[in-house]
Amino acid sequence: MSDTKSEATPIQIAGLVVTALVITNIAFYFLSDLYFEDRSAVYGVVTGGHIQQVRINFGLFTGSIAIGSVLASLRPLYVGHLLAGLFGLVAIIGGVAALAKEMTPVLPASLMLGGVVMALLVWRSLMKSRAAWAFLIGMTSTLSAVMLFGSTKLRGVLDVQLYIALIIPGLLAVATVALAMLRDDYREAQA
């Protein structure tokens, strides 16, 4: 047995991701027929346009996650930090918007504080701070899980279909994986 560690190349990862994307979308296409056929029997007829829109949104969801995954395999440093930084910026903007709408002060304060913390963690992680990198992974993974289960609420607030709302936690999961791929870079890093 060899002691060398075998790692998949980005091309191999891209091939796997594209294969999974195609298989998933083909399966969804046929399974959605069964779902909408059954749903029509219970709730009434669903238009072909609605079914097509759901399929397109599912394709956008899986496609955005696939593109993020392939890019993360090529450049995990940039993809992980860019996605985390973008979500931090969006949280700050969302907090300001919530403040302007005179919502309960807890929401804007939480969004703005979370956004600022995420932006600071991205900056410190890029400066090779192991503690910031680890905490950033914790934040992106936690936010991904929270937003996954909160995506139905997010769908209602943003007035979009569910698969569009699922793009956010999916990309946060991609950011988490991309950041975790950098573990060797932070092994000897300072706190």
* Digit-coded pLDDT (tens) for 13-33: 889 999 999 999 999 999 998
Residue type, 1: M
- Residue 30: closest CA among 63, 2, 58: 58
Cα dihedral 74, 185, 7, 178 sign: negative
Specify the pTM.
0.85
The pair of structure tokens assigned to 32 is 């959605």
How does pLDDT run across 36-59, given as a tens digit for each residue? Answer: 888 888 888 888 888 899 999 999
Contact 115/144 with Cβ under 8 angstroms? no
**Residue matched to tokens 């007829």:** 45
Measured N-to-C along each axis, helices 76-100 and 130-149 cross at an angle, to the nearest 10 degrees, of 60
Please tell me the predicted confidence (pLDDT) of residue 4.
47
Contacts for 10 with CB less than 8 Å, ≥ 6 apart: 70, 73, 74
- Classified as helix, coil or strand, 91 is helix
How does pLDDT run across 131-147, given as a tens digit for each residue? Answer: 999 999 999 999 999 99
Contact 55/28 with Cβ under 8 angstroms? yes
How does pLDDT run across 152-169, given as a tens digit for each residue? Answer: 888 887 788 888 889 999
CA triple 90-80-130, angle to 5 deg: 110
Contact 93/149 with Cβ under 8 angstroms? no
Upper half-sphere CA count for residue 36 (Cβ side, 13 Å): 17
- Classified as helix, coil or strand, 111 is helix
Rounded Cα distance, 90 and 118, in Å: 11
pLDDT at 5 over 60: no
Neighbours of 69 (CB within 10 A): 24
